[in-house]
Structure 1
Amino acid sequence: MPILVIAEHDKAGLKAATRNTVAAARALDGELHVLVAGADCAGACAATAALEGVSKVLCADAAHYTDQGAENIAALIVSVAGAGGYSHLLAPATTFGKNVMPRVAALLDVAQVSEIVAIDSADTFVRPIYAGNALATVKSSDAVKVITVRTTAFDPVGDGGAASIEPITAGPDLALSTLVSRELTQSERPELGAASVIVSGGRGLGSGENYHAILEPLADTLGAALGASRAAVDAGFVPNDYQVGQTGKIVAPQLYLAIGISGAIQHLAGMKDSKVIVAINKDPEAPIFQIADYGLVADLFDAIPALNAAL
């Protein structure tokens, strides 16, 4: 039976999380299709067709998919799933996927398998529980498996494919919700979820002014994205889209610098899969040092300017 991945995109191109989700889907045995739903999304459909391992792209282009409303997208997925006889429906465990896929599971009357990190077989998956401190192996007996994928657990697929693009009829506009406004943080730095280097700050920075004055020069030097612990976000140092952790973004960069972060379990759940973790904290007993590859016990207000000057 074929497998369907739900693409996350910005009309012109794919979001990075879609590549990781396709990589997860390739571990399953079946022909791989990808659904792209949007308005004026020909660019995203073309980008999807180039993904390695994809055999068909289903392109639903309609005005009422402009804002990617969860109700309309979920109804479309259910319709496509029924017509195509798909055995698995996968989406990234991003804000988009977490918004859409539970609705799909409810409409299909099946149990969702959330944030998988490994695939043992067509019906058996591994997912983290207890903030990532344990892994559960889950076997689903549902006829259709509705799955969200923790993208940091799968290496993204590259280009090189030549899938066919099949326009499909859009579903009806359910008109259950309307997007009033969207405020997006604009930055010249890499996007947090896709960055290879992340400089992340915690409550130890003391204030928003210190956060920007201390960390931004280092991030600029390294070409890094900026992140933060929940404590720093709750204290108002930075907006909540900077938050890394169980209730923020899950990241796995090549290099993660945790500066002034104690290492609460919720934060560790969001970054412990990073390839190299560097921790700087003046408290030698800080939990962050237990998972750090390199640790420096020092006052960050002295250490970070010195590190940036050395770089």
Structure 2
Amino acid sequence: MAEVLVFVDHVDGAVRKPTLELLTLARRIGEPVAVSSAPVQRTPRPLAEHGAVRVLTADAPEFADYLVVPKVDAVQAAYEAVSPSAVLFPSSAEGKEIAARLAVRIGSGIITDAVDLEAGEEGPVATQSVFAAAFTTRSRVSRGTPVITVKPNSAAVEAAPAGAVEVLQVSFSERATGTKVVSRTPRESTGRPDLTEAAIVVSGGRGVGGAENFPVVEALADSLGAAVGASRAAVDAGWYPHTNQVGQTGKTVSPQLYVAAGISGAIQHRAGMQTSKTIVAVNKDAEAPIFDLVDYGVVGDLFEVVPQLTEEVKARKG
């Protein structure tokens, strides 16, 4: 069976969940080979336990000291060593940039933001949710080795027999040291899950009325163990950080449960959450477009409904 190269997304060596999902998808179309820029002692075990028949690891200061080009060099080295039938990346900002640069280097087509992947007679077939999630398409790359990025929460994480670990030799190009990282500011941890990876997301919009009212949304999120999101109107007004924006110009999420509080449901926002498995909305406007999309809708004041929901969740958990 042909091998499929999977790029490992990690934080200080800790493998992120979207990578494990990629390994599950890769097993549908071939034998997964993971390529990681983390130290050899940090990443192999979870990768091998989730289906990687081989784990190629490279450890060099260039990966931390410079931007994405050193990682492109590493993936290209792995590509040349493996000759895979496809290369998979998570659909993060970094993942998509590395994927695009690799596709240019190897002269291949690229598909971004896939939500499913299956084997086809002429290569992997990717399913995408396009045009603000109004249509679902199935497509494949017709030139070169398919390079595909996949949205988080697109597949279940499945365990598999462990594979072998190999050290990848990487020769960095001159372009790899063109843009250097001169400082880092650690992001303040909220203790909540990452927005794009969370199984549950609770978002607030214009109806929240101000930054001082967002604790109502946060309280519900914390009771559910959820991430907190916000609409473009809320972040543009300065009520919540732009890093939490859900929408076409923000982050795309696909959780098991999405709760929209005080969000009207403009097409820009819908594009970022429409593939959520179950959608619940609370809005006092019965004609709000969000109600055309939801599985469950509550017409009411969010400041009355959301606190009651939070207390009910706590009571059932307690």
- The TM-score, its normalising length taken from structure 2, stands at 0.89
Mapped to 1, the partners of 2:184 and 2:245 lie a distance apart of 18
Gaps of 5+ in 2: 314-318
Mapped to 2, the partners of 1:244 and 1:89 lie a distance apart of 27
CA distances 1:134-165 after superposition (whole Å, capped 9, x unpaired): 1233232222111111233222233x431100
Name the residue aligned to 2:212. 209
CA distances 1:264-288 after superposition (whole Å, capped 9, x unpaired): 2222222222232110001111111
Question: Is the 8 Å Cα contact of residues 72 and 171 (structure 1) preserved in structure 2?
Answer: no
Deviation at 1:72? 0.9
Distance 1:259 1:72, change over 3 A: same
* Selected match of 1:93 from 54, 79, 91: 91
Percent identical among aligned pairs is 37
Mapped to 2, the partners of 1:279 and 1:229 lie a distance apart of 13
Mapped to 2, the partners of 1:276 and 1:135 lie a distance apart of 18
Q: Is 1:309 matched up with 2:311?
A: yes
Q: Is 1:192 matched up with 2:191?
A: no
The 3-state SS of whatever aligns with 2:270 is: helix
Most deviating of 122-131 and 56-65: 122-131
Name the residue aligned to 2:44. 45
CA distances 1:164-215 after superposition (whole Å, capped 9, x unpaired): 0001113326211112334424111222222222211011111111113x22
Question: Is the 8 Å Cα contact of residues 61 and 170 (structure 1) preserved in structure 2?
Answer: no
Mapped to 2, the partners of 1:17 and 1:67 lie a distance apart of 24
- Which 4+ runs in 1 deviate beyond 6 A? none
Most deviating of 259-268 and 167-176: 167-176
The 3-state SS of whatever aligns with 1:100 is: helix
Deviation at 1:41? 4.9
Mapped to 1, the partners of 2:207 and 2:283 lie a distance apart of 8
Gaps of 5+ in 1: none
Question: Is the 8 Å Cα contact of residues 109 and 142 (structure 2) preserved in structure 1?
Answer: no
Distance 1:115 1:236, change over 3 A: same
Mapped to 2, the partners of 1:217 and 1:21 lie a distance apart of 32
Name the residue aligned to 1:245. 247
Deviation at 1:21? 1.4
Mapped to 2, the partners of 1:232 and 1:41 lie a distance apart of 42
Mapped to 2, the partners of 1:91 and 1:275 lie a distance apart of 22
- The TM-score, its normalising length taken from structure 1, stands at 0.91
Question: Is the 8 Å Cα contact of residues 283 and 297 (structure 1) preserved in structure 2?
Answer: yes
The 3-state SS of whatever aligns with 1:101 is: helix
Mapped to 2, the partners of 1:129 and 1:56 lie a distance apart of 34
Mapped to 1, the partners of 2:65 and 2:279 lie a distance apart of 37
Mapped to 2, the partners of 1:124 and 1:198 lie a distance apart of 29
CA distances 1:206-234 after superposition (whole Å, capped 9, x unpaired): 1111113x222222222222111122111
Deviation at 1:87? 1.8
Mapped to 2, the partners of 1:113 and 1:221 lie a distance apart of 37
* Pairwise CA RMSD: 1.9
Q: Is 1:82 matched up with 2:84?
A: no
Mapped to 2, the partners of 1:234 and 1:112 lie a distance apart of 32
Question: Is the 8 Å Cα contact of residues 152 and 273 (structure 1) preserved in structure 2?
Answer: no
Question: Is the 8 Å Cα contact of residues 244 and 267 (structure 1) preserved in structure 2?
Answer: yes
Q: How many corresponding residue pairs? A: 306
Mapped to 2, the partners of 1:268 and 1:26 lie a distance apart of 31
Mapped to 2, the partners of 1:185 and 1:12 lie a distance apart of 19
Name the residue aligned to 1:146. 147
Q: Quick one: which amino acid aligns to residue 3 of structure 1?
A: V
Question: Is the 8 Å Cα contact of residues 123 and 141 (structure 1) preserved in structure 2?
Answer: no
Mapped to 2, the partners of 1:59 and 1:206 lie a distance apart of 49
The 3-state SS of whatever aligns with 2:34 is: strand
Name the residue aligned to 2:268. 266
Question: Is the 8 Å Cα contact of residues 8 and 96 (structure 1) preserved in structure 2?
Answer: no
Q: Is 1:31 matched up with 2:31?
A: yes
Distance 1:195 1:139, change over 3 A: closer
Mapped to 2, the partners of 1:126 and 1:226 lie a distance apart of 27
Name the residue aligned to 2:67. 69
